[in-house]
Structure 1
Amino acid sequence: MLLKACLNGARAATAHPCLPVTPEALAREAAACHAAGAGAFHVHPRDARGAESLHTADIGAAVVAIRRACPGVPVGVSTGAWMLPDVEARRARIAAWATLSSDARPDFASVNLSESGWASIADTLLDAGIGVEAGVWFPEDVPRLVSWPRASACLRVLVETQAPEPEAACQQARTLVDALGATGLQRPLLVHGDEGGAWAVLAWARQHGFDARIGLEDTSCFRTDVPPRTTPRSWPMRGPRHRIHRVDARLGPADARDSAARADPATVTGRTRTAVSRA
């Protein structure tokens, strides 16, 4: 059961006082999140001005810094169209990531299937030796995914709910998971929400045994809607009733599942390398 920490997202550097932007800040927050139980990271690297970037140098700098702080922990990045709307220009910039050294190349990258040209972006990532997280936002994304000839090569499918209301977000998660299940595509699912739906979807994912993620990309508030003030600052997860414990890295998937099964069902967490117990 994987709990991924999404450290910054597309938020402006001024959106939250704890938002990590520089490689050094990303590394510091990644280390704190890993110590608290995160088994992977998703980040949006920035350029010298603090703007989101797909440039090879900026991607490499962020990945190297995080890898040095958290050796062996997978690091992923975004390929969002808003950063560079021209599909061919974006594809060319991503293709250049293949020139990065192994310690600077991302392990995976997310691709939003609702964006124009997504299949060429995904193909480019696979050709560069970078895993693809297929981002499913809407029901119509599901047939797009299964019609892609390389769908079975995806690292995982991201079930990404859009509703800001908790109940509606959980219903969206159910709808998308059911639609994906009906296709027969055998790829891991990671389920997460956004803003007001983030915590409810995290709880839903944990309850139903899916990988999940949380962090300042998805929400800047605790479940009580109080801005996060504890370390890790970029992961609004910890509180007096919810302590996250890392499962020993030597455990296999079955051992991790058993550990999570013994956790308090009322506690919120993600799935695959973490278990949570009441403090």
Structure 2
Amino acid sequence: MNGHGGWGGSAPVLQVVLNGSRGAAEGGAVPMSPQDLAESAVAAVAAGAGEVLVHPRTPCGRESLSPRVVGPLLEEMRGAGVRVPLSVPAGVDAEPDPEGRRERVRSWTVLPDRAQVRFAEPGAGRLGQALLARGVAVDAVVPLGGGAGPEPLARFLEWAAPDHGRVRLVAELAEADPALVAGLRWLPPVPVLLYGRDAAAWPVLRLAARCGAGARIGVGDVLHLPDGQAARSNAELVAAARDLRGDGAAATATAASRC
């Protein structure tokens, strides 16, 4: 693997997921309004995040792919000074219908730098093509372990992406099992980012560091620091992740060989 966020290439990216599926009831560390999300992104980038993943939501809290929701949020974040790549998910939670997702993507007036496409969901390949046609890079999300089964990874392998340079494999690991990652070495030469949720978040981040892969952290995935204390912000989680990763020093061929 090579490229930004992959093995044996440039320093692996650390992406912050600002909100995910979290709501206000899950604590004050979860930013809710566009202004809060922008402020959280600025602080997380200052702490060391190299990318930002944000889930656009309507005022009532529902995830949305509407240009009236996505565009203003991206403009708010860029206007606040966020200069790293911005990513949004393009999934079932925001729009259940596969054709509806493609139509939403085609209607965007303000474009993110990247968008997540979950290959466990129907229509992933065509959605990925629609994003690439608009100039939006694709993060192909594939679950590994935990009973996920081989189908999502097989769909990604069958997907004839026209430009591997704008595609990244984002593997959601149910646990920090090196065997789950070892098989990724035989995939097409695209960058790789690894992440886990809740109890798996920190062990998977450590595994990503050992492998020299990209990683993800933020309140969208985990609400606690490695020592079990409640995180006060995305920036605090990013700072802890940087400490665990050794500031990206694991992105070497030697590190990858230990994975």
Q: TM-score range by the shorter chain?
A: 0.7 to 0.9
SS at match of 2:26: coil
SS at match of 1:82: coil
The one-character-per-residue Cα deviations of 1:93-139 (angstroms, maximum 9, x if unpaired) are 12211xx1xxx310000111011111121111111111100001133
Preserved CA contact (<8 Å) 1:193 1:218: yes
Q: Which has the higher contact order (CA 8 A, sep 6+)?
A: 2
* Match 1:225 to one of 225, 228, 231: 228
> Does the alignment pair 1:68 with 2:72?
no
Preserved CA contact (<8 Å) 1:30 1:70: no
Distance 1:44 1:268 in 2: 26
User: Structure 1 unaligned runs (5+)?
Assistant: 164-168, 245-266
SS at match of 2:237: coil
Q: TM-score, normalised by structure 2?
A: 0.83
The match for 1:177 is 181
Distance 2:125 2:249 in 1: 30
CA 1:117/1:64 → structure 2, altered by over 3 Å: closer, same or farther? same
* Match 1:122 to one of 120, 128, 137: 128
User: Aligned-pair distance for 1:63?
Assistant: 1.0
Matches within 5 A, 1:44-59: 44-59=55-70
Matches within 5 A, 1:32-51: 32-51=43-62
Preserved CA contact (<8 Å) 2:38 2:80: yes
CA 1:176/1:64 → structure 2, altered by over 3 Å: closer, same or farther? farther
The match for 2:167 is 155
The one-character-per-residue Cα deviations of 1:41-86 (angstroms, maximum 9, x if unpaired) are 0010111212211111111111111112234310000112122211
Distance 1:37 1:79 in 2: 25
Preserved CA contact (<8 Å) 2:194 2:215: yes
* Match 1:87 to one of 74, 98, 101: 98
Distance 2:127 2:46 in 1: 33
**What is the identity, as a one-letter code, of the residue corresponding to 2:226?**
R
CA 1:122/1:238 → structure 2, altered by over 3 Å: closer, same or farther? closer
Moved segments of 4+, more than 4 Å: 270-275
Q: Percent identity at matched positions?
A: 33
User: Aligned-pair distance for 1:272?
Assistant: 5.6
User: Structure 2 unaligned runs (5+)?
Assistant: 1-11, 145-149, 252-259
Q: How many residues align?
A: 234
Preserved CA contact (<8 Å) 2:63 2:93: no
Distance 1:26 1:192 in 2: 21
The one-character-per-residue Cα deviations of 1:175-197 (angstroms, maximum 9, x if unpaired) are 443222123x0000011111100
My pick for the range that moved more, 116-125 or 138-147, is 138-147
The match for 2:244 is 268
User: Aligned-pair distance for 1:235?
Assistant: 4.1
CA 1:7/1:154 → structure 2, altered by over 3 Å: closer, same or farther? same
CA 1:175/1:91 → structure 2, altered by over 3 Å: closer, same or farther? farther
SS at match of 2:204: helix
Preserved CA contact (<8 Å) 1:214 1:235: no
